[in-house]
Amino acid sequence: MLKGEDFGRLFETFERTAFRLETLAVYDVDEEREEFADFLAGKELPPESSDNPWVRSMTDLGKQVARVHVLQSPLSDYLRYELASYPGNIKAGESIGIIDTAHQEAAGLPDHDFWLFDDTWVYRMHYTDAGQFIGAELLPNDRLNEYQQYRDIALAHAVPFGEYKAA
């Protein structure tokens, strides 16, 4: 399984598209702990959140980055924090959709996260029960079509983030 810098290189080396399906209510990310605590204390997100530099580093090269987050209302504190950062990701060029299972079905989708790069490589994401990242498992090529279908289902059922936020 890939993690750390090895996993991070995937975002430097993909050529055209990166799609993520997110399914967890909490992600325990070391680099976010202080910012998350500040958010819970009512502080504003840092200025770079208004135009995410990580997303921008990919989209400025003409790469497409998209995600669909499958979640359920009412939102966990972590999801409220994550969704507060989405406008900056969108400004930087990421396409974000939401499937809220309290209001719509997510039938046909897996119960785990994955990244699909260039319609060529699928990495299943593994997390602890507390949402800590364990690693990304490269799935065999014979699973590619299955995950492309998951992506297509997610995109077909997702509500664009702006519409979700307005509702």
Global pTM value: 0.96
Residues of the chain under the 70 pLDDT cut: none
Mapping DSSP onto H, E and C, the string for the chain reads CECHHHHHCHHHHCCCEEEEEECCCCCCCHHHHHHHHHHHCCCCCCHHHHCCHHHHHHHCCCCEEEEEEEECCCCCHHHHHHHHHHHHHHHCCCEEEEEECCCCCCCCCCCCCEEEECCCEEEEEEECCCCCEEEEEECCHHHHHHHHHHHHHHHHHCEEHHHHHHC
Report pLDDT for 104: 86
Report pLDDT for 126: 98
The number of distinct structural domains making up the chain is 1
* Domain enclosing residue 53, as ranges: 4-166
pLDDT tens digits, one per residue of 38-57: 999 999 999 989 999 999 99
Report pLDDT for 16: 98
Domain harbouring 23, CATH code: 3.30.870.10
Alpha-carbon span 68 to 35, nearest angstrom: 23
